[in-house]
Structure formats: C-alpha cells, structure tokens
Structure 1
Amino acid sequence: MTTTNDQYYIKKVMKGDINAFTFLVDNYKNMVFSLAFKMTKSKEEAEEISQDTFIKAYKNLQKFKGDSKFSTWLYRIAYHTSLDAIKKNKKEQNTFEINEVTFNQIKSVEYILEGIERKERAKVMENCLQKLPDEERSIIWMFYYDELSLKEIIEVTGLSQANLKVKLHRARKKLLTIVEKNVELEMIENYGRK
C-alpha cells in the first residue's frame, strides 16, 4: 500500500543506508509538523514532537510491514507522540457540555455562516476548533482537513470503528454548539459597533 518511492527508501534504510531516511523526513515533515501543531497549538512543541516522531519511526522502521501506507503509519506515530506531549504538559482541560443539537439550530448556524465572508468563516472555524478538547479537535482535523478515511483514522488512533464514529459525532455536535455561540457573539459585537 505504501508508495514505490517510500518502499525504495525504506528498503535502503533497512540495508543500513542511514542517509536514505532523509528522503522520508523531507517528504513527510510538513504533514507531521502540521498535525503536531494543530494538536498542541505550539510551534516549539510541534517541532519537538516532529523530531520525536521521526526518531521513533527510524528506530521502529523494521516494524513497518507495508500493510498500510507509510504516511498512515507515520501519522499514527505523530498522533500518539502528540497525545503523550499533551498529557505531559496539560495545563487546562477544555470541557463543553453537550447539548442536544436540533435540525433548526444546525440550519441557523449554516445560515449565519453563509453571511460571513469566506476568509472570516475560516478564521471563525479555526477559533472554534481550538476550543474543542484535543482528541476531538484532532479527529475532526484528520477527517475534514487531512481528509483521512475512517479506516485510516482508526489505524492512526487505535480506536474501534464504533468508538471513532461516536467520538466524531460528539465532536461535530460540540463544534456546532461552539460555532453557534461564537458566531452569535461576533454578530452581536459587529452590530454593536455600527
């Protein structure tokens, strides 16, 4: 399942060519850093996690069997390394009560978002995403932004399919509630200035 280029360089590393690992690092460093940054919200922490991820990948390369894409295997290492760092450095836990989200609430949020310019919408969504708990934010990010399939997210997180679907559903509901509250606040503030 892994790409031909990845396989070529993995085989070279396995035969003792340490420099061949540079290709893999160069190819996936942005993906690893992006995931770590989205999860930790810290550039320094993301850089450290990226280094740790590639060190772990190098040390455990013989465990990569090629059943999945190399990028998925590496993503899993980065994800768990990020979670470990978050647990280690946790300062405050974001918790939000899950309220029942009705169809009308969802439609009203969609209607409000349609009225906001695209660039502003992206900024609002980014701010709202940051208010989700770490695990839920990363699951939403993997599914919608990195466009990983459920199967790939299961491989990355180690969650069962049922558990992942429940967590994704809850994260969506929380995100809708957060978006609704933030958009209303922003609209009130904007109307208050006029």
Structure 2
Amino acid sequence: MAKIEDQHYINLILNGNPNAFTTLVDRYKDMVYTLALKMVTNKEEAEEIAQDTFIKVFRSLEKFKGESKFSTWVYKITYNTCLDSLKKSKREKKTSYIEDFSEHQVKELESVLDTIDEKERNQVIQDCLEELPNDEAFLLTLYYFDDQSVDEISKVMNNSVSNIKVKLFRTRKKLASILKERLEPEIVEYYESERR
C-alpha cells in the first residue's frame, strides 16, 4: 500500500480533525529529534525542541502553502527552533582547528570511508560530526543522512543555493580533517600506498 501523502493529513487537520496530526508526528518525530540532537547535543533539550517544533508546526499548519515539500518545511521549523534554543542558552559547541584540505584529499578520505562497512562508517561519521559546530553538523546531517538536495537545504537554512554549496564544501573539508585524525592510521596509509 502506497504511503498516503502528507497533504491528505494536513487537509484533514485543517478541516477540523486534529487527531490526524498524530500521523504526521509519527512520520517525522525521529527526523526532528535527530536534527535537534545534532544542533544541541543534549538529549533532554533535543526532546524539548522536538515537542516545540511540533507545536509550532500544528499552530502554523494553515501557513503551509505546499511551495516546498512538507518535510522541508518541518526541517526549517526544527532548524529555527534549535537556533532559538541555542540563543537562549548562549552556548555553542567548540570549533575544532581544521587545517586546509584540497578537494583531492577530501575525495581520498571519502574513498577510505567506502572501504569500511556501512554501520561502522556511519558511526565514525556520527562521532566526527559531534566535533563540528552545530550548524555545520546539521548541514551534513541533512545532506548525507537525510538525502536532502542542496536546493531543499537552502530553503531550510534560509541561504542561497550557492552559499549552501560553499558551506557544504568547507564543512566536508573540516569533516575530512577530523576523519583523518580519527581513522586508523594504517587504513589511511594502506589506501595512500595503493594510490602511488
């Protein structure tokens, strides 16, 4: 059975059936929580942000015009709710010192990651994301784990497509630097020796 479109449930809610909102919450709760956790890195705070996000989504549902996907709209509300929370607590994760990496080095490290099994690779990337500033971890989560396009991310983060491309490139370089430090040196050495 095909998944019923989000718009169907939105219409039910707008026509006086608030119980239909449960389906939308079930559909997006994991995504919202995961994104919030990437930004605030505190489970309780992420749960609070997820609740606030769904309250905002419910209250402003009539403002959703369908100009973008519903998931993109929910991402945007999640992102803005996270930013509000970070401003309130006036804290930001520490930024790692990152050396400059060439595009070639970034591609090499991504190739090394391809040699690791998927579960281990995802865990390595998740661990490294924690060392990035909140907005950069959020950006990479949208792009790599949630398969959002650059266009969709630009709507979520209120930035131009070209700006998102630049941020994505720079953030990938930072992630590559962190990965290089974290990956077992012999894996990197093995791969580099194979390339010679």
TM-score band, normalised by the shorter chain?
0.7 to 0.9
| Aligned counterparts, 1:109-124, within 5 A | 109=109, 113=113, 119-124=119-124
| CA-CA distance at 1:23 after TM superposition | 1.9
* 1:20 maps to amino acid: A
Partner of 1:127: 127
* 1:144 maps to amino acid: Y
TM-score between both structures, scaled by the size of structure 2:
0.81
Counterpart contact for 2:154–2:160, Cα < 8 Å? yes
Q: Is structure 2 residue 113 aligned with structure 1 residue 96? A: no
Partner of 1:48: 48
Change (3 A) 1:99 1:47: same
Instruction: Supply the distance in 2 between the matched residues of 1:160 and 1:107 (Cα, whole angstroms).
Output: 25
Partner of 2:190: none
Instruction: Supply the distance in 2 between the matched residues of 1:69 and 1:22 (Cα, whole angstroms).
Output: 19
Partner of 1:137: 137
In structure 2, the gaps of 5 or more residues are 188-196
| CA-CA distance at 1:49 after TM superposition | 0.8
Partner of 2:74: 74
Change (3 A) 1:168 1:106: closer
* 2:74 maps to amino acid: L
| CA-CA distance at 1:15 after TM superposition | 2.0
Percent identity over the alignment is 49
Partner of 1:174: 174
| CA-CA distance at 1:26 after TM superposition | 1.8
Instruction: Supply the distance in 1 between the matched residues of 2:49 and 2:58 (Cα, whole angstroms).
Output: 14
Change (3 A) 1:181 1:69: same
1:96 alignment partner, SS class: coil
Deviations 1:94-130, CA, capped at 9 Å, x for gaps: 2234432136644664576567665444332221111
Counterpart contact for 2:106–2:173, Cα < 8 Å? no
Deviations 1:125-177, CA, capped at 9 Å, x for gaps: 22111101111111011011100001110111111112111111110111111
- The CA RMSD measured in Å over matched residues stands at 2.5
TM-score between both structures, scaled by the size of structure 1:
0.82
In structure 1, the gaps of 5 or more residues are 188-194
| CA-CA distance at 1:59 after TM superposition | 1.0
